[in-house]
Structure 1
């Protein structure tokens, strides 16, 4: 749970409708039961929403600071892989492994059911053409999951894997290395694995983690390390390094949508 101390709201800039604003405006009427869901449909396409993922993490801890120490918890963030397995996200603290969910493509009712099962209140999906919301009624019941989602969802966002979304009304940016570090850790696991195999006892522990927690995490990383083609990882790494000067400013934009519009988007997956 390194992100509990790594990420701070002061290092993130937020604009909504071209006006500077605060984290609480991004996730209005926040509460400690918020759960944040992100959909992914291509290898590490989620990097286009990296700042929103990390903003959600900050919000999760700031809304109830005891989660950092007195009541230690991993953030309630969930990655839904739709139509494949698109890369291990545990370096962003999508952990334990149950927080990455794998759903078949072209089964939007199953996807909605998975989202509702996790109690998601803030949902972010990649840009797709909308589908027919009637497809969401193909589950065990025609209205149950739709009603549950309407009851749960408080914020809905659309992102683009390239980082810039059409018709965006939200812009997040940061030049602080803490908001870039988890992408680097995700794309290049070799230094961490080499350190572990050379001297497991030297691996630092975050929060209340025990030594066997590190062992189990390494096991998961090894199982999933070839999930994304190495050429795709090299391309993503090169894109990340393509910057002007030494100071990285990451900027991403998002479009807020209504719950009804989100249903149409979910029907397109």
Structure 2
């Protein structure tokens, strides 16, 4: 659970509509029971939402600082259609926090999001489509989800109204870990100086990285690395996002994983 000690709110600079803002402007009224969900539909796609995810994690711990001692953040990655590479280094752990949905049915995706009580949701930048969901599932999402964001796998969206810039090189630790080959990412399995248990010392963690490593190719890894480097100035990345409403997010969610043939 390295994120608990790795990241601090002051490591990020946030602007909304071009004006500097506090984290409270990005995630209004964050509370103890907020849960962040990230929908992923292409190889290493979640890396494009790195800073949004990491800022959410700092808020999870800020809501109750004692959590830093022994609790992983309540964050969930929803892989659409298949796995898209291990994102567990961000502390999507234990493995149930990376939800592999071997379906393109958006009704199943929304069911999974509702089942986990997601309150802050990031969806990939796909053209919205209309779907008739199962009874009361949309209403449940509308009742609970308070913030939605559109992100791009490349790290930026055209016309985004939110910009987040890393101000400390530690903000790049997690994407670097995700992009390392699985065996290398888990090579150092020693107990940290703090003595606190961490996922990297668990046999299951290494196995998960290897399993999810089969989802992607070396070409996928190289492309994601090039995308990340393109965002950086002096080693630090700036990402952009688009804030949106729940219904628009659900429409984009419906296209996740099927956007290529929807556009054809």
Q: TM-score, normalised by structure 2?
A: 0.89
8 Å Cα contact 1:2/1:207 also seen in 2: no
Which one has a bigger Cα radius of gyration?
1
Q: Deviations over 1:207-228 (max 9, x none)?
A: 7417995222122222222221
Match of 2:139 in 1: 147
Aligned length: 255
Aligned with 2:150: secondary structure?
Answer: strand
- Deviation of 1:239 after TM superposition, in Å, equals 4.2
Instruction: Indicate how the Cα distance of structure 1 residues 207 and 256 shifts in structure 2: closer, same or farther if over 3 A, else same.
Output: farther
Matched, 1:261 2:239: no
Q: Deviations over 1:73-96 (max 9, x none)?
A: 100110000122101111100000
Match of 1:110 among 108, 115, 134: 108
Match of 2:122 in 1: 124
Give the Cα–Cα distance (whole angstroms) in 2 for the partners of residues 148 and 207 of structure 1. 41
8 Å Cα contact 2:44/2:220 also seen in 1: no
Give the Cα–Cα distance (whole angstroms) in 2 for the partners of residues 151 and 102 of structure 1. 25
- Segments ≥4 residues shifted beyond 6 Å: none
- Deviation of 1:106 after TM superposition, in Å, equals 3.5
Match of 1:248 in 2: 235
Q: Deviations over 1:168-226 (max 9, x none)?
A: 11110114111101111111144344444xxxxx3437774179952221222222222
Match of 1:209 in 2: 197
- Deviation of 1:61 after TM superposition, in Å, equals 0.6
Matches within 5 A, 1:46-61: 46-61=46-61
8 Å Cα contact 1:46/1:161 also seen in 2: yes
Instruction: Indicate how the Cα distance of structure 1 residues 39 and 210 shifts in structure 2: closer, same or farther if over 3 A, else same.
Output: closer
Give the Cα–Cα distance (whole angstroms) in 2 for the partners of residues 103 and 244 of structure 1. 32
Instruction: Indicate how the Cα distance of structure 1 residues 90 and 240 shifts in structure 2: closer, same or farther if over 3 A, else same.
Output: same
Match of 2:96 in 1: 98
Give the Cα–Cα distance (whole angstroms) in 1 for the partners of residues 238 and 80 of structure 2. 25
Give the Cα–Cα distance (whole angstroms) in 1 for the partners of residues 199 and 255 of structure 2. 43
Matches within 5 A, 1:179-258: 179-188=171-180, 189-196=182-189, 202-204=190-192, 208-209=196-197, 214-241=202-229, 247-258=234-245
Aligned with 1:267: secondary structure?
Answer: helix
Instruction: Indicate how the Cα distance of structure 1 residues 120 and 244 shifts in structure 2: closer, same or farther if over 3 A, else same.
Output: closer
Give the Cα–Cα distance (whole angstroms) in 1 for the partners of residues 193 and 35 of structure 2. 25
Aligned with 1:125: secondary structure?
Answer: strand
Q: TM-score, normalised by structure 1?
A: 0.87
Instruction: Indicate how the Cα distance of structure 1 residues 210 and 262 shifts in structure 2: closer, same or farther if over 3 A, else same.
Output: closer
Instruction: Indicate how the Cα distance of structure 1 residues 217 and 155 shifts in structure 2: closer, same or farther if over 3 A, else same.
Output: same
- Deviation of 1:53 after TM superposition, in Å, equals 0.8
Give the Cα–Cα distance (whole angstroms) in 2 for the partners of residues 194 and 146 of structure 1. 43
